[in-house]
Amino acid sequence: MNQIKTDEFDYELPDERIAKFPLQQRDSSKLLIYDKGKISQQSFVDLPDLLHPDSLLVFNNTKVVHARIIFYKNTGAQIEIFCLEPAAPNNYEQNFATTTECIWHCTVGNLKKWKNKTLRKKFIYDSIEDELTVDKIENNDESLQLKFRWNSGLSFAQVMDVCGKIPVPPYLKRESQDIDSERYQTIYCKPEGSVAAPTAGLHFSNDVLQRLKLKNIETDEITLHVGAGTFKPLKTEFVDEHVMHNEHFFVKKTSIQKIIKYIGNITAVGTTSVRTLESLYWLGCKIKQNQNIQNLNVQQFEPYQNNFQISVEESLQAILDYLDNKNLYEISASTQIMILPDYKPKTVNKLITNFHQPKSTLLLLIAAFTGNDWRKVYDYALKNDFRFLSYGDSSVLIPASIENS
């Protein structure tokens, strides 16, 4: 693992190049094509014509929750709570289904103004009047544990929907608006849990999905709940000094079987799909070595500290055997994987992704597919009026070769 200076992944991004709002039509964005060193451009609506038949497109189907909840003290002071991930119950589905109380890991804006008193927020949901209260439970360096309570029997998912706001990225420098509730979600989103959208999927329309199907391009869905750490910039001198955030992912047995079928012809929609698929490989390697493994987690530098001589098919088959032995229908795990420029992807052959922030871990991941050509890609995008970041334009990256034998 070579030491890489963070400054090597910096570039100048003028504020006016950051897309503050989505385009009227999802699939009308520009599409940059990086194909083994050559760069061209088309429209995203042309994507089905650029992918091979009999290939697999993997989506992250996570849904963004209304994670920003604002409380007001009697003094008028505003306390903003940002729900990061569930603590009790720590299972996403169970937590969202609770009807009286739950605990979340949160960050709090204007924390100094909040002493130890209970915060209260009255709300109405479908003519049901209720009050949401929140108290501090535990404090650590990264976040606070907060207990939410309410009385109406609504699920916490319903409470969040009415009390919270969609957490649009901080670099938009604006409050969330009505349009974000629809457009900061993919059209295929399902399980709730993310605090940031898997933005590569925002370009897909029903028309594009239908044309993919007509061209015999297979699709499937995995789930990785995107954490706020995705926006955490690289602030260390060397990128390997950065501490990656942990994210939960879920992949069904049927999806793993489909991935095995399409090894060598897999396109990931977004960096979160890449992180999930690559984590799946390393997790399978660990399971193959130890079927009694307890901690289903891929740590930040595990891919660089292990030299498993295991193929993708062998690795994924080990996961299937593990699931069969435990009578499970999906693998539930977490990952801190940090994909560096020298990383050789095991499972993914092509990547569809937006244009990312300077000095970000996402830019490092892009370099794993393009090498030093990432600068050429981003220079082209800047010179040709591409829109950047979450609501910006898209790209499809096709590297010269992928290690998935």
Mean pLDDT of 35-51: 96
Q: Spell out the residues 6+ positions from residue 351 whose beta carbon is closer than 8 angstroms to its own.
A: 267, 268, 270, 271, 274, 366, 369, 396, 397
CA–CA gap between residue 223 and residue 91 (Å, rounded) = 14
Residue (of 375, 348, 345) closest to 363 by Cα position = 375
252, β-bridge pairs: 330
Q: Which CATH class is domain 6-63+184-398?
A: alpha beta
Mean pLDDT of 67-80: 90
Strands (E), 128-203: 128-139, 144-149, 164-165, 192-194
pLDDT at 93: 92
Kindly report the backbone phi and psi dihedral angles of residue 376, in degrees, each rounded to the nearest multiple of 5, phi listed first. Answer: -65, -40
Cα angle value 330/332/336 (rounded, 5°): 140
Contact by Cβ (8 Å): 102, 148: yes
Whether 400 has a pLDDT exceeding 70, the answer reads yes
Rg (CA), the chain: 21
Residue (of 275, 256, 205) closest to 45 by Cα position = 205
Residue 1 identity (one-letter amino acid): M
118 DSSP 8-state letter: P
CA–CA gap between residue 352 and residue 354 (Å, rounded) = 7
Whether 405 has a pLDDT exceeding 70, the answer reads no
CA–CA gap between residue 201 and residue 205 (Å, rounded) = 9
Give residue-wise pLDDT tens across range 176-190. 999 999 999 999 999
For 56, other C-beta atoms within 10 Å of its C-beta total 21
Contact by Cβ (8 Å): 375, 355: no
Give residue-wise pLDDT tens across range 136-169. 997 766 679 999 999 999 999 999 999 999 999 9
CA–CA gap between residue 148 and residue 153 (Å, rounded) = 13
pLDDT at 1: 62
Whether 404 has a pLDDT exceeding 50, the answer reads no
CA–CA gap between residue 228 and residue 64 (Å, rounded) = 11
Contact by Cβ (8 Å): 281, 312: yes
CA–CA gap between residue 179 and residue 173 (Å, rounded) = 16
**To the nearest whole number, what is the mean pLDDT of the chain?**
94
pLDDT at 403: 45
CA–CA gap between residue 284 and residue 317 (Å, rounded) = 8
pLDDT at 296: 95
Mean pLDDT of 34-49: 96
pLDDT at 183: 97
Question: How far, CA to CA in Å, does 128 sit from each of 91, 93, 152, 153?
Answer: 27, 23, 7, 10
Contact by Cβ (8 Å): 273, 222: yes
H or E segment and range at residue 39: strand 38-43
For 253, other C-beta atoms within 10 Å of its C-beta total 15
Whether 2 has a pLDDT exceeding 80, the answer reads no
Concatenating the DSSP letter of every residue in 330-393 gives: EEEEEE-----TT---SS-SEEEEE---TT-HHHHHHHHHHGGGHHHHHHHHHHTT--BSTTS-
Give residue-wise pLDDT tens across range 226-273. 988 877 889 999 999 999 989 999 999 999 999 999 999 999 999 999
Determine which of 83-92, 173-182, 229-238, 319-328 has the lowest per-residue pLDDT on average: 229-238
Mean pLDDT of 294-314: 92
Report the chain's terminal Cα–Cα distance, integer Å.
22
Can you say whether the dihedral through the CA atoms of 84, 86, 92, 95 is positive or negative? negative
Whether 75 has a pLDDT exceeding 70, the answer reads yes
Give residue-wise pLDDT tens across range 129-144. 999 999 999 776 667 9
How do the domains of the chain map onto residue ranges?
6-63+184-398, 67-165
Contact by Cβ (8 Å): 347, 404: yes
CA–CA gap between residue 144 and residue 80 (Å, rounded) = 13
